[in-house]
Structure 1
Amino acid sequence: MSTPRDQEILITGASGFVATHIVKSFLEHGYRVRGTVRSEQSAANVRDIFSQYSDRLSFAIVKDIAQPGAFEEAVKGIDGIIHTASPFQFVVEDQEKDLLQPAIRGTLEILRAAQARSRITRVVITSSFAAMANLHQGLWPEHTYTEADWNPETYENARAADGVSAYCASKAFAEKAAWDFMEKEKPHFSLATICPPMIYGPVEQCVQDMSKLNTSAADIYQLMNGSMTEVPVMGFPAWADVRDVADAHLRAFQINEAMNERFFITSGNYNYQQVCEILRANFPQIKDKVPHSQIGQIQPAVYKVSNQKAQAVLGMRFRSLESSIKDTAESLLKLEKKVEK
């Protein structure tokens, strides 16, 4: 049986927040990694982060993941694929052109590329809780989300929806396209999908401007820098730590029982009031900048989430909210000092 050092893994979108941690996880476990990025500069940025692994890290430039044959060169000599690349934006001019079709086509392009290479045995795709969530039900306190849930939005409605709804729908359509491909084509490789909600944790990707943080890091930073005076309303009250999400991708790739399965990767529910309390308790230097909730404000009842399958099949153990927010904030404070120099 081949060992990690015998295998080269393609990780798409390698410069992103989550992907950076996935790259790190695979490198630390001995794999060779080829990352796809959109430019030579992005490749250089990732190379700098992992300079100690320069002998096991290479790159392929893929400027547009939705183009036919986008990954044809990138998959040559590859043993497995972790596909994280997908459009993530809420403000777009055309929901179909900018969100729905790129997500679907990018997913199908990576699967077609894998199908053309017989040595590829496993593909893991980063999906999202967005592909599970029923936005029409709101906070839905009587419901517990599991891997059996799917976002019910129709394609026609998503084309005319607001940015958030269209993005969530794009994740569902892309993941469904992947499972439909597996059923129809019956390829030689197996598939697993990873569905995390809001992802927090240390910022390790290249950031040169605090205004260019990834969405979830910016979510925490706005609670630290004095830009908010009141605790915001919770939109998606479920979370995961980026290191747990990266670990889930690694385990889904390695564990035989994980293949052709879908996994909801979450540590549970949370709210911004808890986040603010953690920030004040652990970082006295910024406590006056952290917003307070109004006196007597009651947190609404919300849906519950289950990570039982991830624990049972992947053997996952999840970080606490306090440790995740503390590590996120520490990384942001260090980054702030670095950027300001």
Structure 2
Amino acid sequence: MTKVFLSGGSGFLGSNLVKTLLKSPSNYELVTSVRSDSKGTNLLDNLENAQIPTDRISYEVVEDVGAPNAFDEILKKHKDTNVFLHTAAPFHFKSKDVDNDIIKPAVNGLNNALNAIENYGSNVKRFLLTSSIASAGVANKRTGEDHEFNEKSWNELQHKDVKNPLLAYYYSKLEPERLLWKYVKEKKPNFQATTVLPAMIFGPQAFPIGDKKELNTSSEVINKILKLQPCSKLPPGEGLFIDVRDVCKSILKGFEDENTANKRLLLFSGSYNTQKILDIIRDNFMEAGLSLPVGNPENANKEDPTLKVWNNDETRKILDFKFIDLEKSVEDSVEQILDVKNDK
């Protein structure tokens, strides 16, 4: 039986990934880190309520993945770990001290993972880092219409240019990925590495939502729209997106398929803006739509032209499955948040 370690198993992506791993026909044994014992027991309770057996999962508490030697004791205890999936990292834009709150935990967390594997993880054969599309070029200078962002491109952002939480988030994804590939090149470890670079992650939560007041950062894009009043102004927002279920499938393939070794998987299904999301909600949820603003429907097809220079054909060829489109991703999210069915 293959043993998988997953950092950050109670977050939006992590909990969806836990479900995906446990429902896989490969029967993985899973160990995941969570930030507190209460988060761990809540994860197990949610799995049991979803009728997903918990006999192949256990959790270990890691309060801070950026703290020194954060993963050492876990790999000492679970020496038979074969796959290390590193997803835990801050994702928020509320910091006034971006170095300590966003960048350092991400960089130190990656270094802690690699050091733990080097010292105690001799059986680890695959390492997968969840980075972000931001690592491939979100903050790059516009270099003309012939420029393309793809699996081989890199964000040119430098630490000295980080002036706000958004740029700090970009850098917190970019720098750990650069460090990983530098480590692989110089150390030539026993494991093969893969990175996944998702765009904004939409889609349903892994389990029923308890507190709907404020969801995780990406899901809150949709949740905020649902909380608008008829006279409200639509908040700005646009970019590329991917559904969380496709990210999970990609991570699985990222360590199961030899063709993904030493590859960057650039994950986006298409583009979104808040008007597109509003239109999908109004078109598919009549009762909810009556309490929402109309916005400016003509803006649904107006996009930043730089979105058109992204290309992930290589990733799509490797993964060989069709990504979920925006309409289904939004519909499934809204059904869960409102606890209603699409009434179209």
Task: Say if 1:139 and 1:301, in contact at 8 Å, map to a contact too.
Answer: no
Could you list the per-position Cα deviations for residues 307-331 of structure 1 after superposition, in whole angstroms to 9, with x for gaps in the alignment?
Answer: 2122211223211111111001111
2:209–2:336 CA contact under 8 A, matched in 1: no
CA distance, structure 2, for counterparts of residue 109 and residue 50 of structure 1: 29
Q: How far apart are residue 273 of structure 1 and its match?
A: 1.9
1:10 corresponds in structure 2 to 5
Matched residue type, 1:47: L
**C-alpha distance 139-222 of structure 1, shift in aligned 2 (>3 A):** farther
SS in 2 for 1:90: coil
Tell me, yes or no, if the aligned pair for 2:91 and 2:217 is still in contact at 8 Å: no
Deviation of 1:205 after TM superposition, in Å, equals 4.8
Native 8 Å contact 2:135 2:155 kept in 1: yes
Q: Is the 8 A contact 2:270 2:325 kept in 1?
A: no
2:60 maps to a residue whose letter is A
In structure 1, the partner of 2:151 is 147
1:31 has 2:35 as partner: no
- SS in structure 2 of the partner of residue 33 of structure 1: strand
Q: CA RMSD in A?
A: 2.1
Letter of the structure 2 residue corresponding to residue 333 of structure 1: L
AA in 2 matched with 1:12 = S
SS in 1 for 2:294: coil
- 3-state SS of paired residue (1:26): helix
Report sequence identity in percent: 29
2:51 is the alignment partner of 1:46:
no
Normalising by structure 1, report the TM-score: 0.90
Aligned residues: 327
Following superposition, the deviation at residue 97 of structure 1 comes to: 1.6
Give the structure 2 partner of residue 317 of structure 1.
322
Residue 106, structure 1, aligned to residue 109, structure 2: yes
Q: Deviations over 1:163-220 (max 9, x none)?
A: 1111111110111111111112111001100001111101125753222311121110
User: What secondary structure, in the 3-state scheme, does the structure 1 residue paired with 2:181 have?
Assistant: helix
Residue 34 of structure 1 aligns to which amino acid in structure 2? V
Q: Which moved more, 1:314-323 or 1:142-151?
A: 142-151
The residue aligned with 1:21 is: 16
* Equivalent residue, structure 2, for 1:3: none
Q: Which runs of 5+ in 2 are unaligned?
A: none
- For the 8 Å contact 1:223–1:291, the answer to whether it is kept is no
Instruction: Determine whether 1:131 maps to 2:128.
Output: no
SS across alignment from 2:129: strand
Which of 269, 288, 291 is the matching residue for 1:289? 291
Aligned residue for 2:82? Answer: 79
User: 1:14, 1:37 within 8 Å by CA — same for their partners in 2?
Assistant: yes
Structure 1 residue 140, shift from structure 2 partner: 7.7
CA contact (8 A) 2:65 2:71 kept: yes
Is the 2:151–2:264 contact (alpha carbons within 8 Å) kept by the matching residues of 1?
yes
Q: Deviations over 1:141-183 (max 9, x none)?
A: 765421122221111222xx11111111111011111111111
Offset of 1:290 from its aligned partner? 2.8
Instruction: Report the secondary structure of 2:196's partner residue.
Output: strand
TM-score where L is the length of structure 2 = 0.89
Structural mapping, 1:211-250, within 5 Å: 211-226=213-228, 229-235=232-238, 237-250=239-252
Q: Deviations 1:71-111 (Å, cap 9, x if unpaired)?
A: 11222231111110011121223222222111111011112
Unaligned segments of structure 1, at least 5 residues: 1-5, 336-341
C-alpha deviation, 1:131, in angstroms = 1.4
The partner residue of 2:122 within 118, 135, 156 is 118
Q: Verify the 8 A CA contact 1:240 1:268 in the aligned structure 2.
A: yes
Whether 1:195 aligns to 2:200 is: no
